[in-house]
Amino acid sequence: MMKSKLLTTCAFAVLCTVLGLAILSACSEKESVAPDVNKIALKACGTCGSFPVCCSSSSDPDGDGWGWENSASCVVNGTNAQKSQCSSVSGGGSSGSVGCPSSLTCPSGISCGCYTVSGLGTNKQALNSAGASRYFLASAMLETELMNTNYTYGDGKTGDSFNAGRTKLNYYEANASGVGQGSTSALWNKCTSPSGDVQVWNACKSHWGSKYWAVHRNGASGNSNPNTQDINNFKAVNDWLDARIGSNSAYSSNDVRFWASLPAI
């Protein structure tokens, strides 16, 4: 009887593991091919605005105009992505009646830019409907091109550094705020809905208060030492993005993306 019960338990555990892997696969099936300005590498095949041009069209298996070569995102020639990106860098790209500004003043010592990307406005509008603040939009805009969760599971990190959500909250900041995995709120999930994501972000920002940006950038280290130059730059970039979005009401709901370059950590 004991042996039979043990076998049943083991079978159930295997089934749970398989289901768990299937869920994770669903979350990360389409890993991000969105341009990450922190990983841009100029290539011999040319550049399109701030991004390298793909040397091979086969680098774009899903046909969205963005590829992945040499650990960096690239633009595929002859696609809508190329037309949008290359024209918008000079201020010519648009979404609706409002496009990128003709010029930008970047945060001190930090490169920045603007371009349009199809589909971004739809995601912004979903977040707005979920009650996202302008700072939430700014934080999400800094992290991924489409302000979504189509990036490598956990952002390639583990433990307290594990990232989730559209703003890539780290596990340390979420767990200490009472919204970590396993908490009663059960909102810590990379695949969470826009409303769940906004709730988690609001809880974290409220919990950490003036230390929020330091903890969001550096976790426990940021909590202990919140005034490093890197953290100050991170806060300055988020302030800058918030101001850009606020400079025209259309930027909170259209396809325009502002970016600023910070070193990945």
pLDDT tens across 66-82, in order? 778 776 777 777 676 66
Judging by beta carbons within 10 Å of its beta carbon (0-12, 13-18, 19+), is residue 78 exposed, middle or buried? exposed
Domain boundaries along the sequence of the chain: 32-89, 94-260
Chain segment 131-170, per-residue pLDDT in tens: 999 999 999 999 999 999 888 888 888 888 988 899 999 9
Instruction: Judge whether residue 126 has pLDDT over 90.
Output: yes
| Residues 182-221 pLDDT 10s | 544 445 665 578 888 998 899 999 999 999 999 999 999 9
Quote the CA–CA distance of 253 and 245 in Å, as a whole number: 9
Q: What percent of the chain has pLDDT over 70?
A: 68
Structural Rg of the chain based on CA atoms: 20
Q: What is the pLDDT of residue 251?
A: 95
Burial of 70 from C-beta contacts in 10 A (0-12 / 13-18 / 19+): exposed
Helix (H) or strand (E) holding 13: helix 2-28
Give the residue-averaged pLDDT of 93-101: 65
Place 26 in a pLDDT band, splitting at 50, 70 and 90: very low
Cβ–Cβ under 8 Å, residues 128 and 252: yes
Whose structure tokens read 């101001």? Answer: 243
The DSSP symbol for 106 reads P
Q: What amino acid is encoded at 97 in this protein? A: S
Q: What's residue 211's pLDDT?
A: 97
pLDDT score, position 17:
35
Q: Is the pLDDT at 33 greater than 50, yes or no?
A: no
Q: Is the pLDDT assigned to residue 117 strictly greater than 60?
A: yes
Token pair 């259309």: residue: 250
Q: Which of 119, 120, 126 is nearest to 259 (CA)?
A: 120
pLDDT at position 29: 32
Instruction: Give strand pairing partners of 98.
Output: 95
- 214 vs 65: CA distance, rounded Å: 35
